[in-house]
Amino acid sequence: MDHDVVVRQKMTEKYLLDELDAASRDEFEEHFFDCPSCAVDVQAGAVFIEQSKIVLAPVTDGVAPQIAPRPGWFSRLRPLVVAPVMALLLAVVGYQNLILYPRLEQAANSPHLLPWASLKVATYGSGPDRTVITTAPGKSFLLFVRIAEGEYERYAADLHDPAGKVVWSLTIPAAPGQDEWPIQVPGVDLPAGHYDLTVRGVTTAGISKEVGQASFELQIQK
């Protein structure tokens, strides 16, 4: 089982919540026994769930009921993993607070360049050759979208992924004399492939009319 699939499908959480079928559960267990990252996630999650049951258990006559641990492989491993897991969690928290978060804050407040492309929305079949955008996995990019002026109050833009599914929709307010708008596109979960941006014009009366489309090819540089 590929680690990226595990993260994307949130299989660790589903495993801990017992939401996986038997085949997926066996496949995931084979994976995390060979994957230190997933093993730590499972161990830490199991400890958290068991401790949460104790803390959140209802109190009867001033005495909180004792919850017996669920039998299984983790019950046998628990004495061996609780201390290392807690130490690891403290190390992770310290790393995040002292190193990672300051770096992210500094990056967010520093100027940087984004991949970009200029797209001209045209009637179907009359647009230019497909534009290519190359970006890193999960990174944002800019689209400078040109739309011919019309008698519209606003525009409605839809981005379609390679499977034809609408990734997001965006309302673009029309302004006299403006025919180009910069759109920052989040790169999270966007696969490489062909994308279509379709645009509709909306009048003050609420009447929607197709304006055209623009296409681009997204390439992920690993």
Domain spans of the chain, in order of start:
3-108, 116-220
Confidence band, pLDDT 50/70/90 cuts, at residue 23: confident
- Is-above-0.95 flag for pTM? no
Contact 185, 135 (CB under 8 A): no
Contact 101, 93 (CB under 8 A): no
Contacts of 57 (CB under 8 A, 6+ apart): 64, 65, 67
Q: Which helix (H) or strand (E) holds 63?
A: none
Separation of alpha carbons 80 and 47, rounded Å? 12
Does 126 score more than 50 pLDDT?
no
Where does 116-220 sit in CATH, by number?
A: 2.60.40.10
pLDDT value at residue 74: 52
Separation of alpha carbons 113 and 93, rounded Å? 30
pLDDT value at residue 25: 80
Angle of helix 73-95 relative to helix 36-56, nearest 10 degrees?
Answer: 100
Does 168 score more than 90 pLDDT?
yes
Token pair in block for residue 159: 């981005």
